[in-house]
Structure 1
């Protein structure tokens, strides 16, 4: 799940000597609103199409246009989680990938990153989801897993986020290997765990659009 595995080779970098008109043509062809700009292997940032439109001069050279996201990049050996974090921090649909010598290697699209992230969390596997609220000090996944396995179920993946209603608590999202979680819920509640929400996967959800929908439900967004 390292960044270099998800580089999209269909997205070309712009050079400083390229013209704005060519950049717009490439953006339209590959259906993106920004492209990376590279000079002698060095990543300089992203050029957005709205910047070109504002300048209203397709003959301008890229070197004369303002760039964004100069620090919107990760190293090749970083995990896909880091790609998503950097993209979120910069509100960008693209993240550049550099080797440890800071040489540009390519970019990762958020569509590819989300797909990889969904796979890593077993989003596409059939099964239900429970969301628990608890104090961080009460979080012991091994104990929760023991209770779950006592009901002949298994946790496929887990995700922790802060509780927006109480900053002293966390939300623990759990994905299971079965859809019917009635007995699992009863056992967790009997041992004092507070379940604040649940989702049950429907059969036959395999489309790419469902992948993102499942991910957002899993993350409780």
Structure 2
């Protein structure tokens, strides 16, 4: 799951001397959210699509709109999710430690890969449970699921404060009523639940879980 295994190389990194028009044309061909810019053979940053329609000239004229974000080739794909969300991007530049532009990763490629994993691909139930912060234990949560003969596919902290923690989990559909009762007995509060047992709900299930994931 390293970034270097997902790099595409068909999208160029422009120079500041290149025209805004050429960058805009390239962006329209690919349908991406940003163009990338280099300076002195090093990656410099990204310019969002909207700014390319504000004026003509060269990318130097938009230098003040450059955002500095990129990901290293030896990072994990999980590290990219916050960048997609923070910069409202569907493409992220990939660089090496010398800040040389190597290519890019797209949101579509990363999410397509993540959707293969049981956490996203398996039919099942999504629960968000609340527990006091002082007694949070993912081990205990998993044990509650498995003690009721259900499968624990994974989870993550979706909210955290000094008082409470919300944990969003994906489990199989077996014995859901018993699981609810056991969580109640162990002083967990179910904040939200979505039970899916139809194949037609699979895409909605995956997409909703991925949306929750990138919002943390």
* TM class, shorter-length: 0.7 to 0.9
What is aligned with 1:84?
A: 81
- Structure 2 residue 156 is the aligned partner of structure 1 residue 162: no
What is aligned with 1:123?
A: 120
1:37 deviates by: 1.3
In structure 2, do the counterparts of structure 1 residues 155 and 30 end up closer, same or farther at CA, with 3 Å as the change threshold? same
1:126 deviates by: 0.7
Greater helix percent: which structure? 2
How many correspondences in the alignment? 215
Distance 1:196 1:218 in 2: 16
Range moving further from structure 2, 177-186 or 136-145:
177-186
TM-score normalised by L of structure 1 = 0.82
Distance 2:179 2:98 in 1: 50
- Structure 2: where are the runs of 5+ without partners? none
SS at match of 1:172: strand
- Cα pair 2:27 2:33 within 8 Å, conserved: yes
Distance 1:217 1:205 in 2: 20
What is aligned with 1:44?
A: 44
TM-score normalised by L of structure 2 = 0.84
In structure 2, do the counterparts of structure 1 residues 202 and 35 end up closer, same or farther at CA, with 3 Å as the change threshold? farther
Distance 1:17 1:214 in 2: 42
What is aligned with 1:26?
A: 26
1:29 deviates by: 0.8
- Structure 1: where are the runs of 5+ without partners? none
In structure 2, do the counterparts of structure 1 residues 105 and 219 end up closer, same or farther at CA, with 3 Å as the change threshold? closer
In structure 2, do the counterparts of structure 1 residues 69 and 41 end up closer, same or farther at CA, with 3 Å as the change threshold? same
What is aligned with 2:139?
A: 142
SS at match of 2:168: strand
Aligned counterpart for 1:198 among listed residues 189, 193, 197: 193
- Cα pair 1:115 1:212 within 8 Å, conserved: no
What is aligned with 1:106?
A: 103
SS at match of 1:130: strand
SS at match of 1:43: strand
Deviations 1:94-136 (Å, cap 9, x if unpaired)?
Answer: 3222112222112222333344444456212111111110122
Query: What RMSD over aligned residues (CA atoms) do the two structures have, in Å?
Result: 2.8
In structure 2, do the counterparts of structure 1 residues 200 and 89 end up closer, same or farther at CA, with 3 Å as the change threshold? same
In structure 2, do the counterparts of structure 1 residues 41 and 210 end up closer, same or farther at CA, with 3 Å as the change threshold? farther
- Structure 2 residue 210 is the aligned partner of structure 1 residue 215: yes
Paired residues for 1:176-191 under 5 Å: 176-178=171-173, 181-191=176-186
